[in-house]
Amino acid sequence: MAHEIVERNRDLSALVLAGIPARGVALAERLAADIEAIAQARVATGVIDVSMHRDDVGMRVSLPVVRASQLPKPLEERTVVIVDDVLFTGRTCRAAMDAIRSFGRPACLQLAALVDRGHRDLPIRADFVGKNLPTARAEQVRVRLAEVDQEPDGVWLLKANE
Amino acid sequence: MNSSILRWTRKDLLGLRELSAEEINFVLETADAFKQVGTREVKKVPALLGKTLINLFIEPSTRTRTSFELAAKRLSADIVNISAATSSLTKGETLKDTARVLEANHADIIVLRHSSAGAPQFLASRIGASVINAGDGAHEHPTQGLLDLYTIREKKGRVAGLHIAIIGDILFSRVARSNIFALLKMGARVTLVGPSTLVPREFEQLGVAVSHQLDEVLPTADVVNLLRIQHERQRKEYFPGLGEYIRLFGLTKARAVLLKPDCLIMHPGPINRGVEIDSELADGVQSVILDQVTNGLAVRMAVLYLCAGIATP
Amino acid sequence: MSTLIRNGRIIDPANGRDEIGDLLIRDDRIGEKSKSKPEEIDATGLIVSPGLIDIHVHFREPGFGWKETIESGARAAAAGGFTTVVCMPNTSPAADSPSTIAWIKGRAAEVACVRVLPTGAISKNLAGEELAPIASLAQAGVVAITDDGHCVQNNELMRRAVEYARMVGVPVLDHCQDYNLVGNGLVHEGYWSTLLGLPGWPAAGEEAIVARNIILAELCDHRIHCQHVSSAGSVRLLREARARGVKVSGEVCPHHIALTDESIQNFDTNFKMNPPLRTQRDIDALLEGIADGTLDILASDHAPHAKFEKEVEFDRAPFGIVGLETELSLFIDLLVHRQKTIGLPRLIEMLTVMPARLLGLEAGTLSLGAAADITLIDPELAWTVDAGSFQSASRNTPFHDWKLKGRAVRTIVGGKTVWQLG
C-alpha cells in the first residue's frame, strides 16, 4: 500500500496520513514508517475522530470514548489520506470527510483501507486497499494490530452467528 | 485512579454524587476531544444537528446559560432560552406541566437551573428528554464541578493526592458540594474554610476537613477555590457583614504570600472583587479563573454530546 | 339485634382482660345476655379489641375538601381499624369558633361512619397572637385545644392559654416547633441535609418547645400533650419531667419509627413531613420511650394532600402523609413483630385506653354497657400496601408496596360493621 501511495502522490511533503482511531491511527503510523523506508521522506500523520460527526445521535444505548482529533495546519494545498482498517458501508469515511471540513479545505482527499469488505451504502470507494475481502453482510471482519490490541497482527472473518 | 469506563450510558447529568470515578474520567477525556474543537478553523461539529436544546433557567444566570448556549451551538443544536420571567411558571404552571409542554415541542435536551434542590431529578423521572442540571438550589452544579476538576487536572497533571481548599459560604453552595463529591472520588484531600455558621462541623462526615483559620490552611493548599459570598438578608444570622468576612476569610494580597508559588486560585464567578479575593490577585499569575471559563465550554460540550447521544428508552 | 363475636382473643386493657372468649353486642352496646339468637362473627385467630382511637388526624373540612372530606376520612379511619378519631383545627376557616365546631360536628353526624371528634384552636386563626374563645369551644364540644399545624411561639400567651384551659377542664395538645430555630427547614438537620444542601429542621427546634411545655405544665399544673414526638432529646426531656411527676405526655407516629432521613435522597415528597424523619438514633430513643412508658400514646398525624400538590419540587410540596390505613399495621409489624418493643396488649392500650384517658373520652373499653366500638385484628395477616386502593381521597404515602404483617379485618361502630376486609 505504501508503494501505491508513493506512486500516486508526487509531493510527499504535502501528504497527511490521517488515521481514524484506534486502528486507523496505528496503520497510518505504519504506513508513514514504510514510506520513509521507501522514499526517505517523513510524511505527516494525524488523527480524525469521527464520533462528533456521526449521523446516529440519540440512537445508541452506550457511547465509546471520543479522542481528540489533530491535523496539521494549514490544510489547503495538502492531500489528506484517510486511513482506516476496514471499509464497509462507507459511513465512517463520510463522517471523516465531514470532520476534515472543520479543519480546513484540503486540495485532495484519498482513502486507504487495509480491508475492503464490500457492501457500500454510499458512493465511496477506496484509493488504496490492502486486501479485497468479499463478505456476507451479517459476517464480521476483525482486524488485530499488535500495538493496539496486544495480539499478533491478523485479520479475522467471523461467520454469521459466531 | 485514571481508569475510565469503556462506554457512557447515562441520558441525564443530575449530579456528581452518583457518578463513579471512572465515569468522571470518561467525561474529562471526552472534554479533551471537545476542547480541541475550539482550535479548529470551523469551531463547529454536527454532533447535535437537528436536536433541540432548551435552556430552562428558572433561577437566572447569564454566565452558565451563555456557556451552555455556546456549547450547544458548537454542536450544531437548536437552542431556545426560557427564563422564569418568560415562562408560564409565573402564571402558576407547574414544573411538571412546563416539562410536558417542552416535550410536546420535541425538546431533546433540557438544561435546568432551579432554586429547588431535586428539581432536575423531578424532571428527569418524568420526561424522556435528557436533563442536565445547571444548578439546583444548594444541592449540585455538576458541570461546574467537572470543569473545576478539568482545570486542576490540566494545570497540575493530576488530581489525586492534591490538597484543595474551598473557601466561603459552603453551607448554601452547590458548587462546593459538587466539588467535594468529585474531588474526593478522584483521591484529592479537601479542606473547607469559612465561618463556623457557614461551614458547620457536620461536613466532616462527608470526608473533608473543616477549618475556620484561613491562614493555617493556605500554606498547605495546592488549589484554593473561592466561593462567592452571597450577602442577601437571609444570611445576616450567619455572619455579621462583609467587613468582618474579608478580615477573616478574604484572600487579600497580604494573605496571598502564604500560598505556595504554584498554588492555583480558582473561582466559579462572578467575582466580588475586594471581597472573596483581592482585585489584583483575580488577574494574577496564579489565577486560572479564565481557564475555568474556557474549560467550561469544553466540559459542557462533552456532557451535552454524551447525554444527548443516549437513546431514550 | 345482637351479635356474638366468637372465640377471639379479647384484649381489653381497661379491664385487665386478655383471654380467648366471646363478646356479645346488644344493639349498640356491649351486652351480657341475649334474648334472641345472635348473629355470629367467627373471631378465631383474631384479636377482639376496643375500637381503636387516633387522636391526631387532619380531615381538611371545612375549606380543603379536595385533599379529604370528613366522609372520606372517616372511611379511611374505618379501613384502618379506627372507630374514633380526633381531628385537628387547621381547616379553613380554622376551628376557632363555636359555629365552625358545630358545622364539623353536624357534618360528621351526617356522613361519617366512625366517631369524629373536633379539637379547637388555642389562638385565633392559629396565628399565635390572641386567645381563641376556649370556653365557648369547650361548650361547643371540642375534646382538646391545639394549634396543630402551627405552634404558639409567645410563651406568655401559651401560659395564659394553658391556665385558661385548666379552668375549663380541656386538655392541651401541642405541635412542638420553634419557628426561629427551624426557619425554613425541610428535612432533619444532619448528615443528609448537609450532603444534599437542603435547609435543616434541627431536633433542637422541637426540643425547645417540649422544654417550654414541660415548664408550663408544671407552672400551671395542667397536662400538656406533645404531639408527634420525633427526637431523642424530646424523649429524654419527657422522661425526666415525668419522673418528677410533671403532667406531660407524648405521642409517636408510625413514620417516625419506620423511616430515617436517609429516605429523602431521591427528593420524593412522600417522605416530607413535619416534624421530619430523623436518624436511627432517634428511632432507638423513641422505641425506648415506648418500651418504658415515657411515650404512652400512638397516633397517625394523617395529613392528606392531593397528588398535584405533592407532585412538585421538594421545597414547594406541603408537609405530610396519609396514615390511617397503614398505622395499625406498621405499629404491629414494627413494634410487636420486628423490634419486639411491646406486646399486643400494650399496643392496644396505647391506641385505646391511653388516648381515651388523656382526653377524658368514654371510649376505649369493652366494659359491659360501653358503646359497641370494636376492632377485630389479625396480627399475623401478611399484606402489601396498595395506595391505589386506599379509602382516603389522597394517596400521599411512603409505604406503598410495603409488605406488612398484621391488619384490622373488621371495624364495628355502635354495633354496626362499618368496614370489613375483603
C202 in contact with B, Cβ within 8 Å? no
CB-based contact A57 B37, cutoff 8 Å: no
Residues of C in contact with B139 (CB under 8 A): 196-198
The DSSP code for A56 is -
Residues of A in contact with B51 (CB under 8 A): 57-58
Chain B: nearest CA to A37, how far in angstroms? Answer: 32
Mean pLDDT of A114-126: 92
Is the separation of the CB atoms in A39 and A68 below 8 Å?
A: no
Residues of B in contact with A99 (CB under 8 A): 45
Q: Is C301 known to be catalytic?
A: yes
Strand partners, B67: none
Question: Which grid cell sits at B206?
Answer: 462527608
Return the CA Rg of chain A.
16
CB pairs under 8 A between B and C: 58
Burial grade of C280 (CB within 10 A; 0-12, 13-18, 19 or more): exposed
Is the separation of the CB atoms in B213 and B48 below 8 Å?
A: no
C194 in contact with B, Cβ within 8 Å? yes
CB-based contact B95 C313, cutoff 8 Å: yes
C180 in contact with B, Cβ within 8 Å? no
Please list the pLDDT of chain B residue by residue as tens digits (313 residues).
467 777 899 999 999 999 999 999 999 999 999 999 888 888 899 999 989 999 999 988 889 999 999 999 999 999 999 887 776 766 778 888 888 888 888 899 999 999 999 999 999 998 999 999 999 999 999 999 999 999 999 999 999 999 999 999 999 999 999 999 999 999 999 999 999 999 989 999 999 999 999 999 999 999 999 998 876 655 678 888 888 889 999 999 999 999 999 999 999 988 988 889 999 999 999 999 999 999 999 999 999 999 998 877 6
Residue of C nearest to B199 (CA): C194
Residues of B in contact with C196 (CB under 8 A): 117-118, 139
Q: Is the pLDDT of residue A94 over 60?
A: yes
CB-based contact A102 B108, cutoff 8 Å: no
- Is the sign of the CA dihedral B286, B289, B290, B293 positive or negative? positive
Between CA C341 and CA C286 the distance in angstroms is 10
Burial grade of C205 (CB within 10 A; 0-12, 13-18, 19 or more): buried
CB-based contact C267 B174, cutoff 8 Å: no
CB-based contact C198 B96, cutoff 8 Å: no
C311 in contact with B, Cβ within 8 Å? yes
- Residue among C148, C174, C261, C301 flagged as catalytic: C301
C198 in contact with B, Cβ within 8 Å? yes
The confidence score (pLDDT) of residue C305 equals 98
Long-range contacts of C14-21 (CB under 8 A, 24+ apart): C14/C50, C14/C352, C14/C353, C14/C364, C14/C365, C14/C366, C14/C367, C15/C365, C15/C366, C15/C367, C17/C366, C18/C345
Nearest CB neighbour to A66, from listed B30, B40, B43: B30
B96 in contact with C, Cβ within 8 Å? yes
ipTM of the complex: 0.92
Which of B44, B107, B56, B114 is CA-nearest to residue B81? B56
Chains A and C touch (3+ CB pairs under 8 A): no
The confidence score (pLDDT) of residue B1 equals 45
Nearest CB neighbour to C313, from listed B122, B174, B177: B122
Please list the pLDDT of chain C residue by residue as tens digits (422 residues).
899 999 999 999 999 999 999 999 999 999 987 778 889 999 999 999 999 999 999 999 999 999 999 999 999 999 999 999 999 999 999 999 999 999 999 999 999 999 999 999 999 999 999 999 999 999 999 999 999 999 999 999 999 999 999 999 999 999 999 999 999 999 999 999 999 999 999 999 999 999 999 999 999 999 999 999 999 999 999 999 999 999 999 999 999 999 999 999 999 999 999 999 999 999 999 999 999 999 999 999 999 999 999 999 999 999 999 999 999 999 999 999 999 999 999 999 999 999 999 999 999 999 999 999 999 999 999 999 999 999 999 999 999 999 999 999 999 999 999 999 98
Q: Average pLDDT of chain A?
A: 90
Nearest CB neighbour to A65, from listed B29, B48, B312: B29
Question: Which grid cell sits at B157?
Answer: 497533571
Which residues of chain A are at the B interface, by a Cβ-Cβ cutoff of 8 Å? 49, 51-54, 57-70, 73, 98-99, 101-104
Chains C and B touch (3+ CB pairs under 8 A): yes
Residues of C in contact with B92 (CB under 8 A): none
Residue of B nearest to A70 (CA): B36
Chosen for mutation from C179, C192, C313 (greatest number of chain B CBs closer than 10 Å) is C313
B200 in contact with C, Cβ within 8 Å? yes
Residue of A nearest to B6 (CA): A64
CB-based contact A52 B312, cutoff 8 Å: no
Instruction: Scan residues 32-91 of B and list those with Cβ closer than 8 Å to C.
Output: none
